[in-house]
Structure 1
């Protein structure tokens, strides 16, 4: 018999055996059996008062029934979440599942507060063979769950900045579609959609002091204009012509926004559109359920959704969201139970139930279903935004919270006219570089890019 023929058949037999083994392992693993050693365990989490968490709450009883593991959560305002979690890390408080904002992961991982998921994915008793990390949108897994090439968390509450608008109001003003560029929004749409005497405004840009000011307002105007917070050497880039153009644009747009816009957080901006006070907002995709809830919104069939407008630098939408990770200071038993929940709630299997409950899953497969795209009109612009978004929309290094506070203060002063855009940008840049200098980014103690 031909030797090459024998070698080929031997290789094929080995491959078939290996495939059979993998298939057998996949069919053998069940959540119920994996969770059996942890039945009766209670694990604690922090949730936000947002649709994605309400969606998870609807599904949790299914997990508890299957596993015998109890999930308890505290609903905490976003502005207090990081502080509460850090306090728990330091004091040993009850926190097994860690909610990790995209801009907290550098701080949490660098302090060794999170368990790398490799600890669990390398354990055949805990790792679901169908986990499929490649099934997540790469920009989400990399941005929300990964730091310094190590994955700590899985994307859970996932956001892209989108344009939500009132189709009926735009049509009455003579527009059949939303503005495709920021320039058109300011110069063509806004004047026709604003009537201050009737408390009607074209646009609301959530800008409350804090992370909302720094990320949802300030940073949102930099990228589309070709600007950025930092240059390649981690020096301030706020005085570049592009960054200055973006911040000056925001000042011009303010006259078409409701008075007191610097006190608008997400809830106020969403409500202004929902109740007909403004015609357009750029907000996170996660607020779609709120805007389609008849008890909270008057929009009905008038709700329109598109990508954020394009700027001179193209489509550069806001990127935000969270991952769920395991607390490194929790007991081994609680760590395992927490991982099983995280793996389950972010799985491909649960992606559609999570979406139908009001969440926004990070799994690519669920959005390939034409029926899903038809049922949820935010899906198409959201996927387009994720495919062409800005991974470093906000810096993820540990110093971001301190820098965010500076931007929150001086960005607000800019909007109020207490300082000029130029002076405010110079102040932010100087204070920011002081923080980075102290942290060691300029003397080689820390790498410039992660």
Structure 2
């Protein structure tokens, strides 16, 4: 996937065209006896990191394997669509496809199970997320997960100042209907989240150092539905019970109330109605908010003194309230119709080594290898958190029989986004979501 932190490479289509003209899937080999394989990568940090690893391979192990890797960029927004066209025609143009755990149901029919590749280095949850019917269809690459990011200086001051707790209790009773006391963010429920956001909202607390308590990603996108899913799962809900949709549950109603409470009480900037990753980042960078849930990838920028002088050194991480965080994995898959499977397997086997994943991390990737992430924590502490937290807090949504998880997120965004921001009733939004999810489950 795309985590929202990652930007489109401007020259993607031009590079793709160059790659396609330079080498096609029909090449029999090179003058030195090596074979060139074509590997689709995603423009942005992932593609840059993969190009660095491919260069290292081509100059080293690739010469021994007699395999050279040519990376191809299809455009960040168009990669999966263009791959779908290639897959539908059983094309051998590309030997390695770019895939993701949330679209694997669509891709699996066109991918070869990775039976010849050792995946022991990777997080078990990553391997499981890329497995269908006991077959692994993707070599895990970047891990994407959400965190609670909060101004530690402000929250710590609140926790230490018991004289402020009565004000906190008054505000929480007004906003969430219960008199609460401040808590360590590692112990928050979603009511604690909204109560703390309310305390740091100036219209409710004129002494608040921030204008708003939090920001929410309210724009109708599949990736913003992943944020709301944390509230659903953290409230005890889920998409399916067996093959039955269960978005008519009390947990789903509670999750919708959490969002509507934030919007109704103006705990969020007005732009949150159309907010996504970038708006969340901007709200925190500007000093306008005290806390938010955000993709792990956003932390490094927010802790950089040059890019984020108002938050660098002041931001802390905790599991999202309810301790349930959406996680998904980008991956490399072997084209079932490739004419160079042996060569592609040699590249994938190399890519599956801890050494190659270490190079991937050093070049800017976020590999699904706990040991590698731990080693990189000195440069970016969120990576150290990921090494431990993916298995501890991460969840992967249920699979449908034929529909993809991505289609599920699209359905949720379409059905619920108006309800998130209070423009539609909770009952109407959840009824639409239940019908859409039931339809996907029946496919």
Please, what TM-score do these two structures have when normalized by structure 2?
0.75
Q: Secondary structure at the match of 1:99?
A: strand
When residues 436 and 307 of structure 1 are mapped into structure 2, their CA distance, relative to the original with a 3 A threshold, is closer
When residues 77 and 262 of structure 1 are mapped into structure 2, their CA distance, relative to the original with a 3 A threshold, is farther
When residues 164 and 95 of structure 1 are mapped into structure 2, their CA distance, relative to the original with a 3 A threshold, is farther
When residues 186 and 374 of structure 1 are mapped into structure 2, their CA distance, relative to the original with a 3 A threshold, is same
RMSD: 3.0
Give 2:235's aligned residue: 225
When residues 141 and 36 of structure 1 are mapped into structure 2, their CA distance, relative to the original with a 3 A threshold, is farther
When residues 419 and 178 of structure 1 are mapped into structure 2, their CA distance, relative to the original with a 3 A threshold, is same
Q: 2:141 matched to 1:142?
A: no
Give 2:197's aligned residue: 190
Q: Secondary structure at the match of 2:110?
A: coil
- Among residues 42, 51, 56, which one is paired with 1:47 in the alignment? 42
Question: Is the 1:104–1:398 Cα contact (8 Å) retained in structure 2?
Answer: no
Q: Which moved more, 1:316-325 or 1:274-283?
A: 274-283
- Among residues 74, 83, 86, which one is paired with 2:84 in the alignment? 86
Question: Is the 1:115–1:325 Cα contact (8 Å) retained in structure 2?
Answer: yes
Structure 1 CA distance, aligned partners of 2:95 and 2:357? 23
When residues 337 and 38 of structure 1 are mapped into structure 2, their CA distance, relative to the original with a 3 A threshold, is farther
When residues 47 and 38 of structure 1 are mapped into structure 2, their CA distance, relative to the original with a 3 A threshold, is farther
Q: 2:151 matched to 1:166?
A: yes
Structure 2 CA distance, aligned partners of 1:285 and 1:434? 32
Q: 2:368 matched to 1:377?
A: no
Give 1:265's aligned residue: 276
Q: Deviations over 1:240-286 (max 9, x none)?
A: 11221122112112332222324222233233323433322322323
Q: 2:414 matched to 1:405?
A: no
Q: Which moved more, 1:388-397 or 1:406-415?
A: 388-397
Q: Secondary structure at the match of 1:362?
A: coil
- Among residues 336, 351, 354, which one is paired with 1:348 in the alignment? 354
- Among residues 297, 302, 309, which one is paired with 2:314 in the alignment? 302
Q: Secondary structure at the match of 2:73?
A: strand
Structure 2 CA distance, aligned partners of 1:175 and 1:90? 61
Question: Is the 1:209–1:408 Cα contact (8 Å) retained in structure 2?
Answer: yes
Question: Is the 1:97–1:327 Cα contact (8 Å) retained in structure 2?
Answer: yes
Instruction: Quote how far apart the aligned CAs of 1:190 are.
Output: 0.6
Structure 1 CA distance, aligned partners of 2:33 and 2:434? 50
Q: Deviations over 1:286-333 (max 9, x none)?
A: 334433445543332223222222x2xxx2111122121112233x22
Structure 2 CA distance, aligned partners of 1:173 and 1:419? 35
When residues 96 and 116 of structure 1 are mapped into structure 2, their CA distance, relative to the original with a 3 A threshold, is same
Q: Secondary structure at the match of 1:249?
A: helix
> What 5-or-longer segments of structure 2 have no aligned partner?
1-29, 162-183
When residues 405 and 379 of structure 1 are mapped into structure 2, their CA distance, relative to the original with a 3 A threshold, is closer
Give the 5 Å matches for 1:301-450. 301-309=313-321, 311=322, 315-330=323-338, 332-333=339-340, 335-367=341-373, 372-393=376-397, 395=399, 397-400=401-404, 401-437=406-442, 439=443
- Among residues 254, 260, 267, which one is paired with 1:245 in the alignment? 254
When residues 164 and 222 of structure 1 are mapped into structure 2, their CA distance, relative to the original with a 3 A threshold, is same
Question: Is the 1:209–1:262 Cα contact (8 Å) retained in structure 2?
Answer: no
Q: Secondary structure at the match of 2:213?
A: strand
Give 1:114's aligned residue: 111
Aligned residues: 377
Instruction: Quote how far apart the aligned CAs of 1:164 are.
Output: 2.2
Q: Deviations over 1:53-89 (max 9, x none)?
A: 43333433212322261422326335x4432321221
When residues 179 and 364 of structure 1 are mapped into structure 2, their CA distance, relative to the original with a 3 A threshold, is closer
Structure 1 CA distance, aligned partners of 2:31 and 2:296? 37
Q: Deviations over 1:314-372 (max 9, x none)?
A: x2111122121112233x22x34443333333421133333333322222333565xx5
Structure 1 CA distance, aligned partners of 2:31 and 2:57? 13
Question: Is the 1:162–1:381 Cα contact (8 Å) retained in structure 2?
Answer: no
Please, what TM-score do these two structures have when normalized by structure 1?
0.74
When residues 273 and 394 of structure 1 are mapped into structure 2, their CA distance, relative to the original with a 3 A threshold, is farther
Instruction: Quote how far apart the aligned CAs of 1:405 are.
Output: 2.6
Instruction: Quote how far apart the aligned CAs of 1:156 are.
Output: 0.1
Q: Secondary structure at the match of 2:329?
A: strand
Q: Secondary structure at the match of 1:238?
A: coil
Q: Which moved more, 1:99-108 or 1:265-274?
A: 265-274
